Amino acid sequence: MRILLVGAGGVGGAIAAIAARRDFFETVVIADYDLAKAEKAAAVDGRYAAAQIDASSEESVAALCREHRITHVMNAVDPVFNMSIFGGAAAAGADYLDMAMSLSKPHPEEPYALTGVKLGDEQFEVADEWESAGRLALVGMGVEPGLSDVFARYAADHLFSEIDELGTRDGATLVVTDDDGNEIFAPSFSMWTTIEECLNPPVIWEKERGWFTTAPFSEPEVFDFPEGIGPVECVNVEHEEVLLMPRWVDCKRATFKYGLGDEFITILKVLHTLGLDRTDKIRVKGVEVSPRDVVAAVLPDPATVGPRMTGKTCAGLWVTGTGTNGQPRSTYLYHVVDNEWTMQEYGHQCVVWQTAVNPVVALELLASGVWSGTGILGPEAFDAVPFLELLTDYGSPWGIKEM
């Protein structure tokens, strides 16, 4: 396996650090628009090489694939670049993985009731082309989406005879402080992506209605997270799980809710009110800039906040329905990661590490042939047991909590 890793930011750097401890690949070419950043990430392993890439150019991606005889392209940049990287991999005859799917566009007349262009629609439109070419695009293979989708497959195959709801629920106790120990606002993941998914209309799926939308931050509920995290208020957020799970797992309803917190929600609402969430460029003193790019640029880089971060993050799936014994069942399958552990073991903060470990596990399963397929597939399309066993082998076990 010869991997092109596009993106050497927080998640890309963590992917490099995690994969360096494994032997399933021949080489990894780490490519970034900033060559110095790619070189820094590549320095951790002799099998790695660094390269410069324009992720917005399908031709740039394809050329790098051909130059290095790449078999698998791992997309680790913001999803605004998905289609060019996705198209470049296809043009070069390589398989493809990402952790977030092609972007959505709200319905022009009724954005909080009807879907417009859904997450992943652009990719699924060409599924037949990928299948005909004998190539695989494994989409949504991070932690959320990704591991939660693996949990959905596991629950359907081993825990439930009938599923009422697949409800992804994420929460954390993470705190970032300044040099004086004061808590500061510093997102632990890409602010560009966070704005995109939190301010877009959240999507819900129901068997009787199909996909529909609601208002951002709707339907708040308090969810009790395991391993000391405790009760966290969660709200509806647009996310790929809802677009992926119903395609492969039989259920009556699919939702995604995230524990954002009042401060974060207020900040996001203010950004939207001021138009600072916009991605189209405006002219400021003779310079063309995107407001959202400016917001992301002035905040701390998520890759650098680890040393000043404390707490745990939890990603998981709350499944309700009928158990295999015919009795009602309510089960939370989860994965908790402590920032202190990831910083000590890998030198990367827990949110980017938790996102990064899952595509590395998937790549290893593809390299061994345990997972295989063609077309556009989500994690639900594969056997969950080998994935969960290998995740534990990576030193990061998952858990089950009966609710």
As a whole number, mean pLDDT of residues 77-101 equals 97
- Residue 227: how many CB atoms within 10 A of its CB? 14
Q: Count helices and strands (H / E) in the chain.
A: 14, 20
Interval 148-162: pLDDT, tens: 999 999 999 999 999
**Average pLDDT of the residues in 373-380:** 98
* Segment 219-248, tens digit of pLDDT: 999 999 999 999 999 999 999 999 999 999
Residues contacting residue 129 through CB under 8 Å, at least 6 positions apart: 90
**How far, in Å, CA of 400 to CA of 386, rounded?**
17
User: Can you give the pLDDT at residue 5?
Assistant: 98
Residue 374 scores a pLDDT above 90:
yes
Half-sphere exposure of 117 (CA within 13 A, CB side): 11
Tokens matching residue 314: 């939890």
Amino acid letter, residue 250: D
Residue type, 22: R
CB 96 within 8 A of CB 208: no
Cβ 97 vs Cβ 74: under 8 Å: yes
- The pLDDT assigned to 255 comes to 98
Q: What is the pLDDT of residue 161?
A: 98
Q: Decide: 92 and 29 in contact? Cβ < 8 Å.
A: no
Decide if pLDDT at 189 tops 80: no
Do 114 and 201 touch, CB atoms closer than 8 A? no
Q: Rounded to an integer, what distance in angstroms lies between the CA atom of residue 50 and that of residue 36? A: 9
pLDDT at position 190 over 80: no
Instruction: Answer yes or no: are the C-beta atoms of 331 and 287 closer than 8 Å.
Output: no
- Delineate the domains of the chain, giving CATH numbers in brackets: 2-138 (3.40.50.720), 147-351+398-402 (3.30.360.10)
**Per-residue pLDDT for 185 more than 80?**
no
Peptide bond into 106 cis (omega under 30): no
- Per-residue pLDDT, averaged over 94-123, amounts to 97
Q: Which pLDDT belongs to residue 297?
A: 86
| Pick from 5-19, 213-227, 258-272: least confident | 258-272
Residue type, 212: F
pTM above 0.85, yes or no: yes
Residue 298 pLDDT class (50, 70, 90 cuts): confident
More confident: 265 or 110: 110
Average pLDDT over residues 260-284: 87
User: What torsion do the CA atoms of 131, 136, 139, 142 make, to the nearest 10 degrees?
Assistant: 160
Characterize 277-290 residue by residue with b for buried, 16 or more Cβ atoms within 10 angstroms of its Cβ, and e for exposed: bbeeeeeeeeeeeb
